[in-house]
A = this chain, B = another copy of it.
């Protein structure tokens, strides 16, 4: 394929080595120490120089041009390389730090080994989705990932490679160095490279090896990857020569071919955009604006007949059904809402029905979703790439018990402040999740900065969770749709006083504030004896405990706390009103780690800090002591009272 090198390549190639040398020199000046630059594989400098000179579609004057090629590095170690080339192009340090910080620069580089491969795959998928929708006249770019060999040895990279092959992402190219000065084990590394190339080929990739000092070979490999119909991998092997350090051309001038190519491409693109029938819609999704009236349209979906009919089908799974229903409605209303899912989930029920999305965006059962199989690490990693690409709002659907497998990608989203929505469905305990328990996982998610965790307890809270997740733009959201066998709170029978009392009608609803009084004391004159706090499936148990205590004459408030992160952001007065001053009892079928902040002094947590493998799921609540009777007894211990059902009139305020 060397014959594919373009005729003008011979004079250009020499300049590529000069380009590489200039970039490396600049990097040495910028970096805090020589070690940092020495840790960058030498083979990458000429390869990236050739890429910039011959292929990269990029206008330095408009760094965020939507149809630019994505040019990303896989590791913080490679940041000096990227920075050096961009500086030579005239991009200032400040500009790249401010506008691109969370995107192609820090975002990708801050991830763990292999994360960038998933992100780049997601970017290429984003390009494909937008190109399909708007045509190649508006969307016609590639994704170039400059990677370290170690990144490609990771499982998450292998998963992403499989999915890139499956989804036909032929506009994705990885340029990787065969050897890495940081890798100690030379023999193992060479074994790994052969194995890795084999795995990528088995996944439907085209792979090539090229000597990095042979810029003609690199150039041919790049051209081949542009013309091929597969995602491609270019392995650059360290040549015997280091790039020449004598630079005869002005370093900035080395960018001239790229710049003029990019400038011309962008101008032509602007002309096409101006006359494009979907221009307004394209600009809307690129700017990240939601469709106007979305909230109203979405909420309408929960009051009409559609949802009520849905709900009646199987009351034992109402939270899950509400979650899936919300997903279907959103998919119908927001064309940029894109779903990736594992294959382990059931299809959302009632596809035959239609809903509020129909009038705007076709039938409900739309929204092509991308099936990723049990590859949660790469799936959520790709969602980062979709979010970083822009124009797409990624939503992932997966079984709840796999949440730890998503953690590196979720953390990446939290670091890079990317909005992605993970809807996690509690699995059927009979079919694979019987030995899974969430003990510490809720705490682990709540502890992560910028992540919002939602545990809706009923349909109303499920709807609010979807809305809130969509509005949570500075990090990932995780919505847990629990499987509960207890009867749920009916969506339309909830007490509305929580908002009226504090803010008057029209304020944010309780569920949208992350915490609210879902049931007030029976006689509400502002006093309570105790506050029960729970979320998700435990609300049903706590309601039954409240009913027992009600009968005994106690004044019990039940607080639903579906989202700590939102509740924390409410003002002090609201939080104080909700939590009250009475002793508090929190209930969650999980670890109490972190719950101290809601308990006040002397509060009680009912849950479990241990796994209990002897519990099958059905008996979980019993074995953990999460029963209405146990909660009642804890309340009595806390208050120092010993009322029983036989003594129902001993309440404190009677």
Contact = CB atoms under 8 A, between A and B. Distances in A.
A87 interface: no
Given A347-B184, A593-B447, A435 B110 contact: yes
Contact of A188 (B373, B405, B446): B373
B449 A439 contact: yes
Contacts of A112: 401-402, 404-405
Contact of A613 (B101, B374, B448, B591): B101
A444 B77 CA distance: 27
Interface in A443-457: 443-444, 446-450
A371 B440 contact: no
A378 interface: yes
A162 interface: yes
Given A343-B150, A448-B440, A198 B201 contact: yes
A110 B414 CA distance: 28
A321 interface: no
A195 interface: yes
B192 A373 contact: yes
Contacts of A371: 185, 188
Interface in A390-448: 401-402, 404-405, 407-408, 411, 414-415, 430-436, 439-440, 443-444, 446-448
Interface stretch (A30-38, A128-136, A138-146, A213-221): A30-38
A591 B449 contact: yes
B450 A39 contact: no
Nearest to A114: B374
A477 interface: no
Interface in A340-354: 343-347
Most buried by B among A32, A33, A373, A596: A373
A413 B344 CA distance: 24
Interface in A295-350: 343-347
A250 interface: no
A200 to B, nearest CB: 9
A622 interface: no
Contacts of A192: 162, 373
B113 A374 contact: yes
B593 A165 contact: no
Given A377-B155, A401-B112, A611 B199 contact: no
A176 to B, nearest CB: 13
Contacts of A197: 202
Interface in A365-389: 371, 373-375, 377-378
A154 B375 contact: yes
A432 B611 contact: no
A156 B155 contact: yes
29 contacts: A39-B431, A75-B432, A76-B434, A77-B431, A112-B404, A113-B374, A150-B344, A153-B162, A153-B374, A154-B159, A154-B374, A166-B188, A166-B191, A183-B343, A184-B343, A184-B345, A195-B202, A197-B202, A202-B202, A377-B377, A405-B408, A407-B407, A439-B448, A440-B447, A440-B449, A443-B443, A444-B448, A449-B609, A450-B611
- What 5 A-B pairs are tightest by C-beta distance, nearest first? A155-B155, A198-B202, A596-B596, A444-B444, A447-B593
Given A36-B430, A154-B155, A184-B347, 10 more contacts: A114-B374, A155-B378, A201-B202, A407-B407, A440-B444, A443-B447, A443-B594, A444-B448, A447-B447, A447-B591
